[in-house]
Structure 1
Amino acid sequence: MWDAILDSLIDTVKLIPFLLITYIIMEFIEHKTSHKTKDAIKKSGHFGPLIGGILGVVPQCGFSAAASSLYSARIITLGTLIAVFLSTSDEMLPILISEAVDVRIILSILGIKLVIAVIVGFIIDLFFRKKFETSEDEPEIKDLCEHEHCHCEHGIFKSALKHTINITLYIFIISLVLNIIIYFIGENNLAHILNSTPIIGPIIASLVGLIPNCASSVIITQLYLSKVLNFATMIAGLLVNTGVGLLILFRTNKDLKENIKITVLLFAIGVIFGIIFDLIGFNI
Structure 2
Amino acid sequence: MEIFLDALLDALIDGVKMLPFLYLAYLLIEWLERHHGENIENALAGGGRWGFLPGALLGCVPQCGFSAVASNFYASRVITPGTLLAVFIATSDEAIPLLAAEPSQWTTLVLLIVCKIIFAIVGGVLLDFPLRKVLPHSLYGGYEGHADEVDCHEEHEETSSIFLAALRHTLEIFVFILLFSFLIGLIFESVGEDAITGILGGMGIFQPMLTALVGLVPNCAASVLLAQLYMEGAITFGSLFAGLTAGAGVGLAVLWRVNPSWKQNLFMTGLLWAVGAAAGMVLQLIF
Fold in common (TM above 0.5): yes
Residue in structure 2 matched with residue 111 of structure 1 by the alignment:
114
Q: CA deviation at 1:61?
A: 4.3
Amino acid at match of 1:235: F
Aligned equivalents of 1:62, 1:250: Cα separation in 2: 15
Q: Please give the alpha-carbon distance, in whole angstroms, between the structure 1 residues aligned to 2:261 and 2:110.
A: 37
Which of residues 89, 93, 97 is equivalent to 1:94? 97
Question: Offset of 1:227 from its aligned partner?
Answer: 1.1
Question: CA contact under 8 A between 1:61 and 1:242: conserved in structure 2?
Answer: no
The normalised TM-score by structure 1 is: 0.65
Q: Distance in 1 between matches of 2:269 and 2:48?
A: 21
Which of 229, 234, 238 is residue 244 of structure 2 equivalent to? 238
Q: Which residue of 2 aligns with 1:258?
A: 264
- Does the 8 Å CA contact 1:60/1:88 hold for their aligned counterparts? no
Report the alpha carbon displacement of residue 79 of structure 1 after superposing the two structures with TM. Answer: 0.3
| SS at structure 2 position matched to 1:74 | coil
Contact 2:48 2:145 in 1 (8 A): no
Structure 1 residue 202 and structure 2 residue 205: aligned?
A: no
Q: Aligned pair in 2 of structure 1 residues 277, 55: CA closer, same or farther (>3 Å)? A: same
Q: Is the 8 A contact 1:77 1:129 kept in 2?
A: no
- Give the match for residue 148 of structure 1: none
Aligned twin of 1:59? 62
Mapping of residues 166-245 of structure 1, within 5 Å: 188=184, 197-245=203-251
Which letter does structure 2 place at the counterpart of 1:211? V
Q: 1:72 aligns with which of 75, 96, 117?
A: 75
- What is the distance in 1 between the residues matched to 2:51 and 2:266? 22
From 263, 269, 273, the counterpart of 2:275: 269
**Percent identity (aligned):** 36
Root-mean-square deviation (CA), in Å?
3.6
Partners of 2:270 and 2:53 in 1: CA distance: 22
Distance (whole Å) between structure 2 residues aligned to residue 215 and residue 115 of structure 1: 25
3-state SS of the aligned residue for 1:141?
coil
* Structure 1: tracts of 5 or more residues without a match: 1-13, 27-40, 146-159, 166-182
CA deviation string 1:199-241 (max 9, x = no partner)? 2311110000000000010010111111111111111101111
| Aligned residue type for 1:123 | L
Q: Which runs of 5+ in 2 are unaligned?
A: 1-29, 156-178, 188-192
TM-superposed deviation, 1:198: 2.1
- SS of the aligned residue for 1:265 comes to helix
Contact 2:140 2:264 in 1 (8 A): no
Q: For the structure 1 residues 56 and 277, does the alpha-carbon distance in structure 2 shift closer, same or farther, using more than 3 Å as the test?
A: same
Q: Which runs of structure 2 are paired with 1:25-36 in the superposition (5 Å)?
A: none
Q: What's the CA shift for 1:256? A: 0.8
Q: Distance in 1 between matches of 2:114 and 2:130?
A: 24
Task: Answer whether contact 1:202 1:232 (CA < 8 A) is retained.
Answer: yes
Measure, in 2, the Cα distance between the counterparts of 1:46 and 1:207. Answer: 29
Rounded to whole Å, the distance in 2 between the matches of 1:194 and 1:61 is 31
